[in-house]
Structure 1
């Protein structure tokens, strides 16, 4: 069946089910949080990936292998979960803009118009572009709208570490909401699956998952800051601030590239990030960065599977970095993999977990 037929089937009738926050049974009591914070299961969403918030409070959720796009609404404390599109190819990324939902599907970006007014019967989406690479290696694309009104779309490398055309791969790009005016924003970005803009400076910050197979302790993963366009962040020649690639690093001095704003632990696989703009958490959390660390897969002693908190000073430099939530990893075995974070209107923080198939809610009550 053709791709357009799958879309049509998904658009004609959305599947809906009531959320049951009692299942699945997960050991969320093992998750450690700072004093005053608590965590609960907010919704059961299989293979939950990136999240986006609609104007009317709808939480949209992408997926990878499930092929579904979900819409979660809440009425008088009861949440309803709808599958508004299905049988898509890795629809991991979702973004909301001017009443429309944008969904990434490897080489395609889809736009669902007027989506919050037709969740039960979404109209057939418009494919605004099909010009992104078709490769599925690093093909799940986190997408998001910047303060400039452009849709930002990454293109990951199609290899672990190799020389490639840096005008075509290892990029962050942007396009207009109609798919036009393709531009390159940043180069030398191996695989970003999360970015956000500082609420005050409006500058871009993003995670980057560094290469594999350099041992347990190299290279560090990255949190990057792009105050302007056309910067080069080092891949495939350099990783972290000064780790030269063992095969390609001799070709370029690492000093010629933009170093990360912060080196993260090696192989934590940082994905979704959000600046905290809510008012529920204590004031010192305002404009902090929360990072979902998906977790290592080829490290002898696993690491990640947690939420990291980064504080910036007034010059947008790293002031403090610490673990905010952890416990998804127990005795070198993981039962959950955080993917994305989302600040809700009430100030609570949502965390998507593809492994456990749930979305958590982290709230704060004064201790």
Structure 2
């Protein structure tokens, strides 16, 4: 069943799923005011623009002292990571370092960890959480596959000294001929030995390669947003679902079915899990894993039950690029330990309107998704018309929590940095 809701004067029809198999409607109560930096937020929340034109700003971390580290997809003036400090409502660039672009960044136990599209580095921090020797990082992991599609290496650390790194699959659905009409899937999908999953490495061992790492979880097409859930001490990730069901198998899928499927899925991972890509996808309307057409599926046949079910699922093709578990005390109690997700926005929902370009909130209870997800911050695109056409002014990507519980959001289109605060 399709849920219809009225939002900002526009009637929007969208599939909305929380936990796998439970479909609900989104009920945003958002407004735009002159002091919200152009965003639509719930009542009593406020957004400010701390920085502009930073470059393609990807993931971000904020230190306990309020320092801000931002990874750039491409270096600007030879700097792939910039360090900013807030002053008088703005974030001022203090320095930059690292002549490599990328996405991943994380702080843990006195080190700043940073990834290019092929390697993972770490930098020693001083007592103020500032990098001591930016010109001489330690190289922790090297030689990761980069095939120029889903090449970003997002990362997160657990509490036991391990780094988890996404290695995305460089094909849409592991076909013999990628994205070609009627081409069937490669038997056994051989790329899964080195991509399409999450790899685990030690945080303090230098120059590790695949041989030193552990394939922690597989069957994940591409992960950009991920975070460690401290409530249940578990890794959560957001998968980018596959594309072009109709283009590749027009006899099995209408253009509308292809626009609305498959879901963008949240997974709660444990060592050895297999989420099933490329052999399946999660269908929002049927509330189940469906066998992929490249592997004999017909759009209705359920996939093998041995594969992992999503913890939660969201509308198709919206590109979840950021995931953050909120542990602060500034926001109302309902946000505590829940998840914020930055949806970068779609390009392939035609003839349906494009969608995304917002940050949503997913409530959690006891370390698991619980209840309806809702749009938390919207209008990054600039207008409903720009959203529908995919011509967004801004595209949210990275999320971070400040020491006072504020929420920071990066935009990798025009390099904006937003700060969202709450006043009771």
Distance in structure 2 (CA, Å) of the matches to 1:302 and 1:164: 33
Distance between the aligned counterparts of 1:84 and 1:125, measured in 2?
13
Q: Does the alignment pair 1:107 with 2:118?
A: yes
* Alignment check: 8 A CA contact 1:262 1:318 kept: no
- TM-score by length of structure 1 reads 0.85
Bigger relative contact order, structure 1 or 2 (CA pairs below 8 A, ≥6 apart): 2
Q: CA deviation at 1:137?
A: 1.4
Partner of 1:61: 70
- Whole-angstrom CA distance in 2 between matches of 1:249 and 1:341: 39
Residue 187 of structure 1, aligned match among 214, 218, 239 = 218
2:231 alignment counterpart: 200
8 A contact 1:312–1:320 mirrored in 2: no
Which range moves more in the overlay, 118-127 or 278-287? 118-127
Q: Distance in 2 between matches of 1:340 and 1:91?
A: 12
3-state secondary structure, aligned to 2:362: strand
Displacement of 1:185: 1.4
1:37 to 45, 51, 54: 45
TM-score (norm: length of structure 2):
0.74
Asked if 1:94 is matched to 2:105, the reply is: yes
Is the contact made by 2:123 and 2:132 (CA closer than 8 Å) also made in structure 1? no
Distance in 2 separating the partners of 1:83 and 1:120: 12
Q: Distance in 1 between matches of 2:336 and 2:143?
A: 38
Range that drifts further, 312-321 or 63-72: 312-321
The CA deviation at 1:342 is 0.7
- Matches of 2:164 and 2:296 in 1, distance apart? 29
CA distance in 2, matches of 1:41, 1:282: 22
- Structure 1 equivalent of residue 358 of structure 2: 306
Q: Does 1:172 align with 2:181?
A: no
> SS of the counterpart of 1:65?
strand
The equivalent residue for 1:80 is 92
Deviation at 1:280, TM superposition (A): 0.6
- Matched residues in 2 for 1:136 and 1:313: separation? 38
Does residue 293 in structure 1 map to residue 293 in structure 2?
Answer: no
Q: Indicate yes or no: 2:82 matched with 1:51.
A: no
Mapping 1:203-352, distance limit 5 Å: 203-214=234-245, 215-226=258-269, 228-240=270-282, 241-248=288-295, 250=297, 253-300=303-350, 301-314=353-366, 316-329=368-381, 330=383, 331=385, 332=388, 333-352=391-410
Contact 2:37 2:49 in 1 (8 A): no
CA separation of 1:147 and 1:118: change in aligned 2, threshold 3 A: closer
Q: Residue 361 of structure 1: CA displacement?
A: 0.5
RMSD of Structure 2 on Structure 1 (CA): 2.4
Deviation at 1:165, TM superposition (A): 3.2
| TM-aligned CA deviation for residue 113 of structure 1 | 2.3
Q: Would you say the 8 A contact 2:35–2:48 is kept in 1?
A: no
Aligned pair in 2 of structure 1 residues 98, 313: CA closer, same or farther (>3 Å)? Answer: closer
> Unmatched 5+ residue regions in structure 2?
1-33, 175-188, 246-257, 283-287
Rounded to whole Å, the distance in 2 between the matches of 1:258 and 1:338 is 28
Alpha-carbon contact 2:123-2:131 (below 8 Å) kept: no
Flag the 1:76–1:230 CA change in 2: closer, same or farther, 3 A.
Answer: same
Residue of structure 1 in register with 2:423 after alignment = 365
- The number of residues matched between the two structures is 339
Give the Å deviation of 1:197: 2.0
8 A contact 2:63–2:129 mirrored in 1: no
Computing the radius of gyration from Cα coordinates, the structure with the larger value is 2
